Every structure is written in C-alpha cells, then in structure tokens.
C-alpha cells in the first residue's frame, strides 16, 4: 500500500508540464496538447499539481471569470486512480476557489465517466444541462454532462 502522508498540492509551474502531459496522455483518450496546457496560464487561471517526492500524481486546470470558475481539466495518473487522490484535488479546488470569492464552479464530464460523475455529486455538484454529442469517442460522439457546485460565500 502506498503511503500518501507526504502529498503536496502546489500551483502548477511550466516545469511541471512534462509530467502533466505524460499523465494527460495516459488518462485521456483525446488528450490536451502541450500548447493547450501552456495557453492556460495567467492571472485568471488557477492550476495545481498533486505530487509526492517531486513526482506529479495528478493536476487540475481551472479558470475564473468574475464569481464563476470553470474546471477545464483534471486527471490522476492511471496507476494512482481509485485511491482518493481525485477527491483531494477537487476538495483543494473548492477550498481555493472559495478564497478567490468564487460562488460557482462549473465543469463538463463525459456521460460514460460514471466514477467522476459520482465523485462530483458527492462533493456538491449538480447536473444542470447536457451537451449532446460534445465529446469525441472511438465510435462517434458522447454527451457532456454540465455540472455546477454553488459555493457558500466566505465571510
């Protein structure tokens, strides 16, 4: 059993990208490019990596516009999935967004990704819409489930 006592969640840096891109390629059938990751840095983005001993185990990319944030991408290395690390990253996102006066966090999830959908529900996300045929698949297209988590204002 792996010891996760030394986990660290830190802002993503450009030098994290080689490890992030490796996880992205392993975790997603249609991965983001390095160029796309690089374009998601700046003042409106809050991107973080979850690491242990300088090894990136997962990450998220989010952007903020006013009081809304959008989770654009999240992944855990396939060999580390199912161990609660995705939950840790999402809890960090919710906490971090609250400190930035975010009131709503939006995301889209593949209809077929039932484990992620279940986790989002557990953490307070609700389904608000569907985008028909949004995601590519090997056989065609599948729906995106649009979800939102309404955060309590920080006083």
- Beta carbons within 8 Å of 134's beta carbon, 6+ residues apart: 108, 141, 142, 143, 144
Active-site residue, from 103, 108, 111, 142: 108
Active-site residue, from 59, 60, 120, 135: 120
Any idea what DSSP says for residue 77?
A: -
Q: How do strand 68-76 and strand 104-110 relate by DSSP bridges?
A: parallel
142 is known as an active-site residue = no
Q: How do strand 8-11 and strand 104-110 relate by DSSP bridges?
A: unpaired
120 is known as an active-site residue = yes
Catalytic residues: 108, 120
């Amino acid at each position: 059993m792996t010891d996760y006592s030394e986990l660290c969640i830190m802002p993503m840096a450009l030098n994290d990208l080689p490890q992030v891109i490796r996880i992205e390629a392993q975790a997603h059938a249609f991965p983001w490019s390095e160029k796309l990751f690089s374009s998601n840095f700046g003042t409106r983005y809050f991107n973080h990596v979850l690491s242990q001993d300088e090894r990136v185990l997962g990450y998220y990319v989010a952007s903020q516009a006013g009081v809304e944030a959008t989770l654009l991408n999240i992944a855990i290395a396939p060999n580390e999935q199912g161990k609660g690390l995705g939950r840790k990253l999402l809890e960090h996102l919710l906490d971090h967004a609250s400190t930035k006066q975010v009131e709503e966090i939006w995301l889209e999830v593949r209809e077929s990704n039932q484990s992620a959908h279940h986790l989002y529900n557990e953490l307070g996300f609700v389904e608000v819409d569907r985008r028909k045929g949004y995601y590519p698949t090997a056989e065609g297209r599948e729906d995106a489930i649009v979800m939102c988590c309404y955060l309590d204002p920080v006083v």
